[in-house]
Structure 1
Amino acid sequence: MSTEPAAQAPVFTFTARLNARLQPEHAQELFVEPLSAWLQDAGQGDAALGQVGHSPDGEVLYVDLRIALQDESEVATVIVALEELGAPLASTLLLPEGEHDFGRMQGLGLYLDGQNLPEQVYETCDPHEVFEQVSRCIDGLGDVCSFWQGESETALYLYGQDAAAMEQAMAGFLASYPLCQGARLERIA
């Protein structure tokens, strides 16, 4: 009788690069924690936050998830799980044999001008009000999932099934709220 411990199943590790502009704490909450819990409950592996890619001015451009599986055949199941959690279009699995694109959610970046509006606008308007009102406008269509504050602008990142529908739903608010004057919308996924 052998006294050596039973061999562990080999672990297959790879990266899921989310085309998501999420602060690390938001990526942790929206993707890492639920995926890790699901993998652990199923006895299939674990997930952790990996590299976060930034633009030269510090804006998050993507978030990597490091995924370890007991069985390589579970990769397809992980893709389904990430898409159910809201993985944006043009996300990519970085596998040893190559890349595989996945993701279904569309994304918009709403960039508020932080320096060119009249001083009175900055004194009387609140970016939190923009967050709350945009969230209300797109309720049922998508969510404001994260934000970024740069030197000259602040961005809110919205993800949902239909970017055009989200844009249309908030158009009235964006046109009427003084802090949104000069704002730009950018398709990010």
Structure 2
Amino acid sequence: MAAALQEELLEVGYGGTTIDRIAKRAGVAKTTVYRRWGSVGQLVVELFAEAAGGRIPIADTGSLEGDLRALARSAVAVLLHPQSRAIFDVVVREAVHDPAARAALTDFFAGRVANAAPIVERAVARGEIPAGTDAAEVIRQLGAPYYARMYITGDPIGEADADRAAAVVSLAARAGLLKSS
């Protein structure tokens, strides 16, 4: 079902994607899809929630800025991939009014923050940043610039944005600005 949904989103966009088209592409009865998910939005949210559970590899470059740069570049690359972006766009849009989508998005970011916490822990252990630096805040600050560009200003994102975010967050962490309160 996931492949059929992704193909539909890429081919016709969210507005053109229907349960009928997904069911036909997947080779199942549309009643099966309606019974299980009820709507295209719910199908996208479930697909996103399943994908959000996966762990992503975290680089160990030997420096906070290098690790953050690798993480940010990886995130930007995923967001620039048409299938990933199509699904992410739908979940962000649905999260405004759908508690399941909101929960999936919240869980996604919580999982990404927890997965990336070792970056901050290693930097503290190396003496690069002060003890008490809030790992969650470091990771949130890292992602904020490119998510703001995508969903607030509508500006394009790229590797340079990832690199800039890593440099700024690394500097802020070294200065003690991201310590737990």
Which TM-score applies when normalising by structure 1?
0.29
Higher share in helix: 2
Q: What TM-score, normalized to structure 2?
A: 0.30
Q: Which has the larger radius of gyration?
A: 1
